[in-house]
Amino acid sequence: MVQIMKDKMEICASCGSIAPAGKYQCSRCHAPFEYNRIVVSPPKDELIYTRICGSFNCRRCGHNIALSYFTLDGFQCPECNSLERFDWSLWEDIVKDAHNVADLCGFDQPDAANHEFWQFLRDFTSEDLLRDLRAIGRNSSRLHKKNPNPHLAGYSVDLSPGNPVCSTCRTPLQIRVVDEVLQTYCFECKRKEPYEIVSGLEEYQFLFACIGQWHRAERSNEQSRPTLPFPEDASPWWMVFQGASPLRLKIERKIRRQEEETKRENLKAEKRKARAAERHRRMRSKVRNRAAVILLGVGIVTAVVTGAVLQFL
């Protein structure tokens, strides 16, 4: 896999979002970075995280409905109590962009003009998205997305890479998979919390799990899930992805195809060079043979003439 991200990154100790090197305050929670920068190592099990915070408009009353968890069943508007659909056709772009942000944020990539990966990335995405991805970690901590389709529900989300932190002590959480459950663990508080693993979406994206109060695993053990209060504002939560993003995989496939094509062209060039060398060798051999025959003929003629001349003397 082409590695773009560096081995470690700095996050905000208050909210877990990435802490840009060129900023002095977190744009997500407004905490000053002077005392709130934490260095975290890459997660294990190929898990990567994106902090999501957003809302969409109720098509009946226009009220902003918080996207406070992942569901394909829709959300109930707290203003008019109507059930508003927010199906996969709307989630797909959000999930895809969230995975790209977690996997392709460019806070330690080489110069795009001199790096093959970013040159290929230009072929698959827009310059605006490329610029936003490269800015994350340098002077930006988020990717802001709006629904580009005016015929569907208008949503607005902010996506930030980082690492979830403990809500009590703000220590970066250790995240691992135990018995088919995603488990977060805080070394300071010694607290473990299990979360559901998303299933049934393998054919769409690599969304692995969600970390948020609506996705705690113990809620699925009850006969009916308790109804959580609707947040007045969009509360942040985390999407967990496993492995490289589809965009990275697509670029890597193209790079491999180009490398294979380059190898084939090099092999063809070597074969052409070998054939040309063989033709040159055969031609030189023929020339040498002809020269030898000519010299032999000249020698025989010279000998005959010399012998005839000597007989007459």
Q: What is the pLDDT along the chain (313 residues), one digit of tens a residue?
A: 334 445 678 889 888 899 888 788 888 888 888 878 888 876 666 788 999 998 888 878 878 888 888 887 778 787 888 888 787 778 888 888 899 888 888 644 555 455 677 777 777 777 778 888 888 888 888 888 887 665 666 788 999 998 999 888 888 898 888 877 888 999 888 888 888 888 665 555 678 888 988 888 765 444 444 455 555 567 889 999 888 888 888 888 888 888 888 888 899 888 889 888 888 888 888 888 888 888 888 888 888 878 877 777 6
Nearest residue to 239 (alpha-carbon basis) of 98, 68, 91? 98
Residues 6+ apart with CB under 8 A from 232: 66, 78
In whole angstroms, what is the distance from residue 72 CA to residue 77 CA? 15
> Which tokens go with 30?
């407004």
Residues 6+ apart with CB under 8 A from 139: 20, 21, 22, 23
Q: Can you give the length of the chain in residues?
A: 313
Q: Answer yes or no: are the C-beta atoms of 46 and 21 closer than 8 Å.
A: no
